[in-house]
A and B are shown apart, each in its own frame.
Chain A
Amino acid sequence: MNEKPKEFIIEMTGVDVGTMRDQNEIVLEGVNWSVRRDEFWVIAGQQHSGKSAFLTMTAGLMPPAKGSYRFFGSETRIFNESRLADLLRMGLVFESAQLFVDLTMAENVALPLRYHRNLSAPEALKAVEELLVATELKAIADVTPANLPRSWHRRAGLARALSLQPEILLLDNPFGGLDARHSLWWIRFLERLGSGHPVLGGRPLTIVATTDDLRPWRSEGRRFALLKEGRFNELGSWREVSSTGEPVVKELLSAPTELA
């Protein structure tokens, strides 16, 4: 018996993407892309290929310059207060984590919960304890970000994005600047999130991640795309990625020493 295709979470048709500073400065043109529930997408691209702008637009922080963007079936320009319920179905992890420096790691993670569920500080800290344990932040929960290495910041950014139990998670270059130990943790954790992690009640999470290095993302279950010369190119599965003759993909698959 054929399995019914899962619902679309993201559908883009002919979308042009600008930058946050100037939305008329187009970095990507004519994006046609759709994401179904439980899919795991990796969007690759070299630096300045428009990955962050693309993710920012997908997260509803800026409108598409042109084209149609449907999020959970509803036409979307930008997430304002009238679309708050939809916005909270999405979590975004920034490359630089964007933690608040005057809050501790635990307070940063608890911030969305405190705002949307009107929790007091002790109630919120109790509510995020499981997340802090899962992301191995428990021991440094009371430390402010300025006193910790940046690799831990992104974990707090991830925990914060997961705190409201989103249905889709967007990650901006999650492995950028991480050492092998942290990268390995992220690979395993994202794999578990994709298949169903206890912090989300075992529900599989739809994931979209951007990257400038394809090597850590080797997996058959994932779908890949490439941002190149202002265009969004769907690559397919890992098998298709590893067998493509596309020079940029080859570059993103090569270790720096291999390029030398």
Chain B
Amino acid sequence: MQGKLARMFHVEKRWLQHAPLPRSYSNYFGRKLFLLFLTVHGLGAFALISLGVILRKWHVAPNLIRPLIFKETARAGIKLLPMFIFVALALGFLTIGQVMTSLTHYGAAGAIQYLGSIMVIVIVRELGPLLAAVLVLARVGTANVIELGNARALGDVEALETMGVDPVHYLVVPRVIGMTVGVFSLTVYLILGTLAAGYLFAFLQEVPLTPSQYYTQLADSLTSLDFAVVAAKSLSFGFFIAIVTCYHGLAQPLRLEEVSRVAVRAVSQGIIVCVFIDALFIVLYLVT
């Protein structure tokens, strides 16, 4: 196991991080490019290792691991529900409020008939999954890096290894499954909540739109691809957020004082990974 983790972090990477300042911009960009390549390589390898452990050890110690999976799912899902209800209300109000104000400003009297379509484009296809992922990253992903970074720095990983307990199985697998399920579920709740809050705002503003008209607009705008993409997107977001945060917390020897720096790096990389995945799905939309 130690070898598996040690391979994740190369001497070259350390050298690149602590090398003297670049003499030219080309050196600077070259160094950044190498670091990016090494990070992608490390994250890819860690993702494959984690997937391998999930599949290979699904039936190993289920009485110990499955309660941990439930605990992590609750932490990255149910426990965040109050915050998500608040965000859904705010997001619904903001979106419908902005749409109504802008369209009325430009004199689009028939704007009401596009409310459902706009909600699907803005909330279902884009903001819902991305916002859910970023919120889970901020609330649970940060805690993940700090917990795992502390565990690494304090020698908990070595303690697990001496007991013959696979650290990836015990520490990473519950978090990966928990965050994947959590982000997916919260995305669904956020989208449903936002769509409902949007109608509530329209109703309070006395917009002449009945619930059935709003529902019909939403249903007409949604395609089966939307459901598939929302599911795939939110599951990918959850999986990769967990991988990025666990990778930075665990896959390299750490000192306690390095944990905060690593947490910042993990959160920034988590956001970049989410945006990158989102961009890939936009390409998918454009192609289909």
Contact = CB atoms under 8 A, between A and B. Distances in A.
Interface string A102-133: 00000000011011101111000000000000
A21 interface: yes
Interface string A121-163: 1000000000000000000000000000000000000001100
A100 interface: yes
B62 interface: yes
A205 interface: no
Nearest to B56: A81
Interface residues of A, number: 33
B161 A79 contact: yes
Nearest to A85: B164
Contact of B2 (A78, A90, A92): A78
A20 B253 contact: yes
A254 interface: no
A62 B161 CA distance: 11
Contacts of B164: 79, 84, 87-88, 112, 115-116, 164
A61 B163 contact: no
Interface in B152-195: 154-156, 158-159, 161-166, 170
Contact of A111 (B1, B158, B165): B165
A119 B62 CA distance: 9
**Residue among B60, B155, B159, B170 facing the most chain A CB atoms (10 A cut-off):** B159
Contacts of B64: 111, 114-115, 118-119
**Secondary structure call for the A interface:** loop
A206 interface: no
B24 interface: no
B140 to A, nearest CB: 15
Contacts of A87: 162, 164
B61 interface: yes
A115 B170 contact: yes
Contact of A115 (B2, B159, B163): B163
A178 B161 CA distance: 26
Contact of B162 (A80, A92, A118): A92
B63 interface: yes
A112 B161 CA distance: 10
B63 A59 contact: no
A207 B45 CA distance: 39
Interface string B245-268: 000000001000000000000000
A160 B160 CA distance: 11
Contacts of B159: 94, 98-100
B162 A114 contact: no
B165 A115 contact: yes
A252 to B, nearest CB: 25
The size class of the interface chain B forms with chain A is 20 to 34
**Secondary structure call for the B interface:** helix
A195 interface: no
A62 B62 CA distance: 29
B165 A118 contact: no
A195 B137 CA distance: 53
Given A61-B161, A160-B163, A98 B155 contact: yes
Contacts of A84: 164
A76 interface: no
Nearest to A83: B164
A120 B3 contact: no
Given A62-B2, A81-B1, A115-B170, A98 B158 contact: yes
B158 A56 contact: yes
B192 to A, nearest CB: 33
A90 to B, nearest CB: 8
**Residue among A112, A114, A115 facing the most chain B CB atoms (10 A cut-off):** A115
Interface in A60-99: 61-62, 78-81, 84, 87-88, 90-92, 94, 96, 98-99
Contacts of B170: 115
Given A20-B253, A61-B2, A78-B2, A112 B158 contact: no
Interface in B35-87: 60-64, 67
A98 B154 contact: yes
Interface of B: 1-4, 60-64, 67, 154-156, 158-159, 161-166, 170, 253
Given A100-B159, A118-B61, A118-B63, 10 more contacts: A87-B164, A94-B155, A98-B155, A98-B158, A112-B165, A114-B64, A115-B165, A115-B170, A116-B61, A120-B63
11 contacts: A56-B158, A61-B2, A81-B1, A81-B166, A94-B155, A98-B155, A111-B165, A116-B164, A118-B62, A160-B163, A164-B163
